[in-house]
Structure 1
Amino acid sequence: MKAAVCRAFGAPLVIEDVVLRPPEMGEVQVRVGAVAICHSDLGYLDGNWHSDLPAVYGHEVAGRVEALGDGVIGYAVGDPVVVTMIRACGQCRPCVQGKPFLCGARVDRRRGVLTTAAGEVVEQGLDTAGFAEAVTVHVSQIAKVPEDVPVELAALLACGVITGTGAAINTAQVTPGSSCVVIGAGGVGLNAIQGARLAGASRIIAVDLSDEKLEAARGFGATDVLRADIKGLRRAVLALTEGQGADYVFVTVGVISAYQGAPALAAKGGMVVMVGMPPSGAKMEVEPVIVAATAQTLTGSFMGSTVVQRDIPYLVEMWRQGRLQLEELVSKRYAFSEINEAIADARAGASRRNVIVMDP
């Protein structure tokens, strides 16, 4: 099969023939129908996080099951599915506690799921390797979706949508009538706004450097928008929250200055939710006495605290009811042969989600 292989960080991907091994116990093989470009993919392609080359990245995938390994139940060949990077063993402490997104089982991404025609091992990036015509993944990583969900929209549910909506609904557990600040109005930020809206927040303040993104944020549910570079950002947030600050502040960008300023936007007893992923080694400073005196909570949110088989069907239902926007998240569709163009456009920063739609 064909895959877009990363052979040098920062360099264009090379579409070449690779060998995908058949599914083993507890695994499924999925024919890729669409794969979206996520900011995390860009980070790996740039070498911001540890990875061994050659590798195939891409982790926002949707397609159809085309083969089942031994022991797989509940799925049949031909089923339309979303493929996520959330692999769960079902037996470790986080899994038993209902937190499969924190599964402690370590999997060698160079275990031979992918190899070149010459036998060279290719890393299965993010346990998925979705920039390819097919993937072999653990059954815990997939969720069925109805036939009427377009494959390019289903792919969005694999990461960006669950990460943003889940940060609000699952991690923060936003309460009705509360106030939220969302720093960053990109793909994940827009979904955090949608999650806050679904949870019943009464005031949702989007913060970004781009006027275009702020205008888009209104369409996704932001009640107010603020430029991130204005003088007196904290005063502006206080003015919109009856002088209290926001009950929840979501940082959806991997920018340390955004993290640094987030606690000042939160109310006493408020929560700062860390969603965006800075490069490895980046650090922020926190003054503990202020956090203690204001009883604020600083918490991380990984993959929206998502339980794949629970949350993806819920989000599909929200989409069907017209309460969750998906089509509006797609900036542009590309052919697989145009993957480097799609990545370059995503790097430019204006796109929400660029989606590769595979040939039928």
Structure 2
Amino acid sequence: MSQKVQGVISRAKDAPVELVTVVVPDPGPGEAVVKIQACGVCHTDLHYKTGGIGDNYPYLLGHEAAGIVEAVGDGVTDVAPGDYVVLNWRAVCGQCRACLRGRPWYCFNTHNAKQKMTLEDGTELSPALGIGAFIEKTLVAAGQCTKVDATAPATVAGLLGCGVMAGLGAAINTGAVTRGDSVAVIGCGGVGDAAIAGARLAGANKIIAIDMDQRKLEWAKDFGATHTILASDGDVVEAIQGLTGGFGADVVIDAVGRPETWKQAFYGRDLAGTVVLVGVPNPTMQLEIPLIDIFGRGGSLKSSWYGDCLPSRDFPVLIDLYLQGRLPLEKFVSEEIALTDIESAFAKMDHGDVLRSVVVL
């Protein structure tokens, strides 16, 4: 039988979020119902609320979550009731051209639950990133559930579901940072700090944090930044070069996603260096740059989708690193809140007052 639970929705563009009753159906073939234990408040949820992603309201918000599988549908073999899982929005299909070429982290046909969760009046909800986890229980595709070590608290494990994985993966997977590299990260929010943590894990010997906010630069040091640049103090490119022998960094990661920060990343890298764009631009942004500069500098210009991660491969490893004390996921958690506090959490995030507010259910 279907269940009625409490969840947080965005009913219309820029309207305050609402705590409502949501009807969650029993899982069908290939689906799972997960009891949510904790869920991070991500900028993507705010983008849904403000109409920055689409207008398929009402949205069931939340997606950075961990919890316990309660029930599974027919044909599900990878997870079972009682499994402790982190939810992901990349349930790879195994059949698209990327998957068949052995590159499932680029899967072009990721899938979600086929059934819809609804309001009591039957109105269908659009779950954020196909998950919808500001809720007591949610319905997802079973492939969106990744089993991890149950000794890791849900408040930190769930963060791998989006922002932290995006940043870590931008450094380790997309940027291929390796031992001895110099790395610069532009934008030191949750994604940028995760990129810094990833660069540290990979063995970079110089990690430069860049931001407009001195508070965020201090936070970046906690994740492994060896040097900081306050962007408002002068020319960012010159500052990066000044810290890298005049050459520029081997890898520069743009965790902001604006034309001006991408140009700083492009010109702030060494010859044949790598630029990684992981910050998400809006559809109106345009970039102009001399083509001869792209040719003349060589190297790689990359975009990082979800940190180019494969959840089944990356989530368990990162949780193990956390449990070994080598990945400080707990430092991303600025506060723990209730479902009723999400609107105020959005305001704090928008003002840059927190890295992550985490809803605990």
Secondary structure of the residue that 1:89 maps to in structure 2? coil
Aligned pair partner of 1:158 in 148, 154, 161: 161
- 2:68 corresponds in structure 1 to 64
Q: Please, which moves more after superposition, 333-342 or 93-102? A: 93-102
- 1:54 corresponds in structure 2 to 58
The one-letter amino acid paired with 1:182 is V
After TM superposition, give the deviation of residue 324 of structure 1 in Å. Answer: 0.4
Aligned 8 A contact 1:86 1:100 in 2: no
Equivalences for residues 219-238 of structure 1 within 5 A: 219-238=222-241
Deviations 1:177-217 (A, max 9, x none): 01110001110000000111111111110000111110111
Deviations 1:96-121 (A, max 9, x none): 23433432227588x64211111111
- 1:273 corresponds in structure 2 to 276
Q: 1:107 to 1:210 in 2, by over 3 A?
A: same
Aligned 8 A contact 2:11 2:57 in 1: yes
Deviations 1:76-135 (A, max 9, x none): 2111110011122111112223433432227588x6421111111111221101111111
The one-letter amino acid paired with 1:166 is G
TM-score (norm 1): 0.95
CA distance in structure 2 between the aligned counterparts of 1:353 and 1:145, rounded to whole angstroms: 21
Aligned 8 A contact 2:90 2:110 in 1: no
CA distance in structure 2 between the aligned counterparts of 1:20 and 1:130, rounded to whole angstroms: 12
Deviations 1:277-333 (A, max 9, x none): 122222222221101111032110010001001101110111112110111110111
CA distance in structure 2 between the aligned counterparts of 1:248 and 1:326, rounded to whole angstroms: 23
The one-letter amino acid paired with 1:157 is L
CA distance in structure 1 between the aligned counterparts of 2:101 and 2:201, rounded to whole angstroms: 25
- 1:314 corresponds in structure 2 to 317
Segments of structure 1 that go 5 or more residues without pairing to the other structure are: none
- 2:90 corresponds in structure 1 to 86
CA distance in structure 2 between the aligned counterparts of 1:353 and 1:213, rounded to whole angstroms: 13
Q: 1:327 to 1:56 in 2, by over 3 A?
A: same
- 1:41 corresponds in structure 2 to 45
Aligned pair partner of 2:150 in 142, 147, 163: 147
CA distance in structure 2 between the aligned counterparts of 1:105 and 1:185, rounded to whole angstroms: 31
Aligned residues: 357
CA distance in structure 2 between the aligned counterparts of 1:141 and 1:278, rounded to whole angstroms: 25
Aligned 8 A contact 1:112 1:121 in 2: no
Equivalences for residues 190-209 of structure 1 within 5 A: 190-209=193-212
Segments of structure 2 that go 5 or more residues without pairing to the other structure are: none
Runs of 4 or more, structure 1, over 4 Å off, are 106-109
Q: Please, which moves more after superposition, 257-266 or 193-202? A: 257-266
CA distance in structure 1 between the aligned counterparts of 2:92 and 2:203, rounded to whole angstroms: 30
The one-letter amino acid paired with 1:342 is A
Q: Please, which moves more after superposition, 230-239 or 299-308? A: 230-239
CA distance in structure 2 between the aligned counterparts of 1:102 and 1:344, rounded to whole angstroms: 33
- 1:105 corresponds in structure 2 to 109
Secondary structure of the residue that 1:253 maps to in structure 2? coil
After TM superposition, give the deviation of residue 263 of structure 1 in Å. Answer: 0.7
State yes or no: 1:17 paired with 2:41. no
Secondary structure of the residue that 2:57 maps to in structure 1? coil
Aligned 8 A contact 2:90 2:111 in 1: no
